Amino acid sequence: MRQAGRYLPEYRRLRGDRDILETCRDPAQVAELTLQPLRRMDVDAAVLFSDIMVPLAAVGVPVRIEAGRGPLVDEPVRDTRGISRLRPLEPEADVPHVLEGIRLVRKELDRPLIGFAGGPFTLASYLVEGGPSRDQARTRAMMLSSPNAWDSLMRALVGVLLPHLRAQAGAGADALQLFDSWAGALAPDDYDRSVLPYTRSIVDGLDGLDVPLIHFGVGTGELLPSMARAGGDVIGIDWRTPLDVGWDRIGGPASRAVQGNLDPATLLASWDVVETAAQRVLDRAASRDGHVFNLGHGVLPATPPEIVGRLVDLVHERTERPR
């Protein structure tokens, strides 16, 4: 999950009121914001500072990000004309700042760096809804009622996302994460028919790069087997599904590694609550190989930074360090 964020005072100081997409276009700030969390916490990897809307903005989608609300797309994409304007991403020309940011991070970083992109359903949902929504109803409606338009939209998004991920790996990212955060709005049948093929073509397109892929969504209890079939070396599980239950549903450790899944809201409670809940996650992974400890979703802005650092140490104390 994103490590940089408003819960860190040094992040708030550096970011100020500057637009987040503008910050993402500044390689020095990208590098600094990526590295900040590692200066105070003993995490095992860095997560690139960026935003899932960056590649869409880079191909000309009129997107802005409003603090406290999320991404807003002033001209939602709801028809063939809108879709036809989504051109493929040419990374060196369109997102040079991301790649330069990665190269700057690589110079300083002695740990793995995780790059990322939004998943195709999630990006489609922002494009179709024009902003965040509770259950992506308009997107689901388009998916169900206009399969041809949906196919064009998803293909166009693959043409943005795959080059973006490949270029991040090329610039020095050691692992990649695909955040199909809102895919959990779908029933498995619909996901299998209307999202899985496109995600799989992204996964297939990363073949041969030797960069592991983490595949994550929120509220995906029912979707875990489908998401695993779509692809990813590691499947992220949100806090709603007990880690062992989710792991069994995917097919167990023989099938795939998992990432997760402490409820981020836990970190707003006292340390003994955090400790008990973290141990519960570790217990659910005990005696299995291939667990990446993480939160079940992003760090909440009200989280005390000290608690995050203490959690990292606790997990290290109670588990074997990765090689």
Under the rule (CB under 8 A), what is the footprint of a copy of itself?
Answer: 132, 134-135, 137-138, 140-141, 143-145, 184-190, 218-219, 221-222, 239-242, 245, 263-266, 268-270, 273, 277, 280, 297, 300, 302
CA gap 33, 27 in Å, rounded: 10
**HEC profile for 159-200?**
HHHHHHHHHHHHHCCCEEEEECHHHHHCCHHHHHHHCHHHHH
Q: Is 2 part of the annotated catalytic residue set?
A: yes
Chain-centroid distance of CA 240 in Å reads 17
Q: Which is nearer to a copy of itself, 168 or 226 (CB)?
A: 226
**Residue at token pair 């690589």:** 106
Give φ, ψ of 220 to 5 degrees.
-105, 20
Nearest distance, CB of residue 150 and a copy of itself, angstroms: 11
Q: Which is nearer to a copy of itself, 207 or 270 (CB)?
A: 270
CA gap 153, 236 in Å, rounded: 25
Q: Which is nearer to a copy of itself, 146 or 201 (CB)?
A: 146
The answer to whether the CB of 114 falls within 8 A of the CB of 173 is yes
**Residue at token pair 């489609």:** 124
Q: Is 39 part of the annotated catalytic residue set?
A: no
- Token pair belonging to 172: 């020095």
Nearest distance, CB of residue 273 and a copy of itself, angstroms: 6
Q: Shortest CA distance to 30 belongs to which of 173, 131, 127?
A: 173
CA gap 272, 205 in Å, rounded: 44
Kindly give, in sequence order, each residue whose CB lies less than 8 Å from that of residue 178, ignoring residues fewer than 6 positions away: 116, 117, 118, 119, 161, 165, 199, 202, 213, 214, 215, 216, 232
Nearest distance, CB of residue 257 and a copy of itself, angstroms: 21
Q: What number of other Cβ atoms are within 10 A of residue 162's Cβ? A: 21
Q: Is 51 part of the annotated catalytic residue set?
A: yes
Catalytic option among 7, 11, 25, 51: 51
- Give, as one character, the DSSP assignment of residue 118: E
Q: Which is nearer to a copy of itself, 170 or 221 (CB)?
A: 221
Q: Is 289 part of the annotated catalytic residue set?
A: no
CA gap 254, 109 in Å, rounded: 32
Q: Which is nearer to a copy of itself, 310 or 316 (CB)?
A: 310
Catalytic option among 7, 11, 25, 126: 126
Length of the chain counted residue by residue: 323
Q: Which is nearer to a copy of itself, 146 or 152 (CB)?
A: 146
Nearest distance, CB of residue 24 and a copy of itself, angstroms: 22
Nearest distance, CB of residue 207 and a copy of itself, angstroms: 30
Nearest distance, CB of residue 79 and a copy of itself, angstroms: 15
Peptide bond into 294 cis (omega under 30): no
Active site residues: 2, 6, 15, 51, 126
